[in-house]
Amino acid sequence: MTDGEKVKLDSLFESLSVLANGAYTYVTHIGSNVTRWSKEAVDYFGLPGEYMENALPTWMKRIHPEDLPAFKESVKNVYGRDAGNHHEQYRIKTKDGKYIVCTCRGVLIRDEKGEPEFFGGTVRNNDALSYFDDVSNTRSLYGFMDDLRSSTWKGEKIQIMMLGIVDFSHLNEIYGYTFGNRVLQEFSKMIKVEAFEMGEWYRMDGTKFAIVCKNATSEDLKNLYKRIQYNCIYDLVVDGHQVVLSFVGGAINLDKFDVSAETVYSCLRFAYYESKINHLGELYILKNSVSEDKRFAIERLNAIRNSIVNNCEGFFLCYQPIVDADTEVITGAESLIRWKNDEYGVVPPVEFVDVLEQDNLFPELGKWILKTALIDAKKFLGRYPGFVVNVNLSYTQLEKRDFVEDVLSILKELNYPPQNLCLEITERCRMLDMAVLKDVFSTLRGYGIKIALDDFGTGFSSLGVLRELPVSTVKIDRSFVINIEKDFSDQNTVRFISELANSFSSSVTVEGIETSEMREFLLRFKIKSLQGYYYSKPLPLKEFMDKYVNA
């Protein structure tokens, strides 16, 4: 195996590891017949090492003799079918000599000529997972995902609704966890009664539940949701105590099912959090509409999600300049993600970012964005030593314990000056614990990294975020300046925000500048920098270089 092939093998292995979610990961380079295994698999099954030559015979020796013929047939079919998929359940011997039941999934990855290049996937230890939840007496999240994968393979038309109890921790604090579990039991029983014969119910993570239906309409789901709401307000009695619960819910209707279970789950989580954040608990149904390219929205999301696994293939960054308000000299740029391929063309972030934020793959994309932005920004620093590149963050990245370590590691790897990086956060970060955010950003600020609060004023907690976090820059949303010359209310808002930001020692950037008149009018406020189409639309790297660096 060449060094280049090993780099590709390791890169693909790391990408698949993100998807593993507790399973063992493996990737085989077909040309050299070298397989990389996760360290956990090496330890659990007693394999020779993380890198193995001709691993298949070694693996087959561990498979139960009764299951071996079906396994061999499945592996044979991988190379004989266009799909190149492997999905088999069998018994395999561990290092201790006992057999456990595992589910092995794999996919054949071809090179640009269509020839098999890699085969990779996961081995899930079914004995280590609980497919049944004892508290609610329903199948668990693992059971849900397993059944969902079965539906994807069969191409079934299904409808899914997920709902979750709000502020359940408060109930636990008052009555204790034993009573809390009794509430979940009674809640689950009530759901089963209301959803009788509609579909299969599951206990998801925490206080979330889901139902999978095969013959329900959107109206059926809405009516079910309303019945559960009514019961939770008026008729839920637990051990002689009337309990009032509030909850939120999201749903999706899959008319076409040519997508992975993981994509479906991400879409379902997005619908759930839309209900929670933006729709006051009203059931939010994600429409799987057909776009101009005649393809279903979720099908397109599935293609985008698969691109992350494939080394973020198809993603690219555009850059929109940020200029000094007084001199109009460029001081930095905001990096903005885009995705394209031959089938779908260019897809803007509004079409996929919000949904992908609910996916455990998103932090991997986030690292790619940060690394790519810094590599590009180094090309700008020769001409503009003070150039600052702004990189947008998702709250799902900030949830990861190793987020700060990842940022600092990338900066060190690229030898990029921390003071020339600004990380942008949005209102959605209010979902996270403020103490955790404060610790993360205080650490980053200690290294000289700047923090920007994007879309300031569009959410109810912006003031609280500004007060609590070490914010370098406040970015005023374009909605406040589009009518700035005529609207006194917007003028007062911009004046208030700029003075408030300055009182917290934060500079102010205004987005959405479209005319010279807007720019001239804004100069009367305490504004440091401007951004908008008046200066430039977001440009791909080459166009940005030609306009601002090479000119």
Q: Cα–Cα distance between 162 and 202 in angstroms, integer? A: 9
C-alpha atoms less than 13 angstroms from C-alpha of 165 in its C-beta half-sphere: 25
Please name the fold of domain 313-549: TIM Barrel (3.20.20)
Question: What's the start-to-end Cα distance of the chain, in Å?
Answer: 44
Banded pLDDT at 424 (limits 50, 70, 90): very high
Report the chain's mean pLDDT, rounded to a whole number.
87
Closest C-alpha to 37, from 55, 52, 50: 50
**Range name among 62-66, 250-254, 296-300, 363-367 with the lowest pLDDT average:** 296-300
Q: Cα–Cα distance between 406 and 212 in angstroms, integer? A: 38
Query: What percentage of the chain has pLDDT greater than the value 70?
Result: 94
Which tens digits make up the pLDDT trace of 443-499? 999 999 999 988 776 654 567 778 888 899 999 988 889 888 888 998 998 999 999
Distances (CA, A) of 381 to 55, 408, 465: 48, 19, 31
Buried b (16+ CB within 10 A) or exposed e, 36-60: bbbeebbebbebeeeebeebeeebe
Q: What's the Rg (C-alpha) of the chain?
A: 26
Q: Cα–Cα distance between 225 and 209 in angstroms, integer? A: 12
> 360 versus 474: which is more confidently predicted?
474
Does the structure show a pLDDT above 80 at 432?
no
Q: Cα–Cα distance between 394 and 400 in angstroms, integer? A: 11
Does the structure show a pLDDT above 50 at 302?
yes
Q: What is the pLDDT of residue 133?
A: 82
Q: What is the pLDDT of residue 170?
A: 83
Q: Which CATH class is domain 3-127?
A: alpha beta
What is the CATH architecture assignment of 132-286? 2-Layer Sandwich (3.30)
Banded pLDDT at 301 (limits 50, 70, 90): confident
Q: What is the pLDDT of residue 293?
A: 47
Q: What is the pLDDT of residue 427?
A: 65
Which tens digits make up the pLDDT trace of 72-116? 888 887 765 555 677 788 889 999 888 888 888 888 888 888 888
Mean pLDDT of 28-49: 91
> 386 versus 356: which is more confidently predicted?
386
Task: Name the residue ranges covered by the structural domains of the chain.
Answer: 3-127, 132-286, 313-549
Q: C-alpha angle with apex 431: 337 to 428, nearest 5 degrees?
A: 35
Which tens digits make up the pLDDT trace of 148-170? 887 777 777 889 999 999 888 88
Which tens digits make up the pLDDT trace of 487-531? 899 899 899 999 999 998 999 999 999 999 999 999 999 999 999
Buried b (16+ CB within 10 A) or exposed e, 104-133: bbbbbbeeeeeeebbbbbbbbbeeebeeeb
Mean pLDDT of 322-333: 96
Does the structure show a pLDDT above 60 at 295?
no
Token pair listed for 69: 């013929």
Q: What is the pLDDT of residue 72?
A: 87
**Range name among 133-137, 187-191, 211-215, 494-498 with the lowest pLDDT average:** 133-137
Handedness of CA 455, 459, 465, 466 (dihedral sign): positive
Q: Is 297 exposed, middle or buried (0-12, 13-18, 19+ CB in 10 A)?
A: middle
User: Do 313-549 and 132-286 have the same topology in CATH?
Assistant: no
Mean pLDDT of 359-372: 91
Token pair listed for 242: 């009337």
Q: The whole model's pTM is what?
A: 0.69
Does the structure show a pLDDT above 70 at 218?
yes
Q: Cα–Cα distance between 475 and 509 in angstroms, integer? A: 5
Contact yes or no for 143/202 (Cβ under 8 A) = yes
- Cite the DSSP H helix spans in 382-487: 395-399, 403-414, 434-446, 462-468
Contact yes or no for 345/339 (Cβ under 8 A) = no
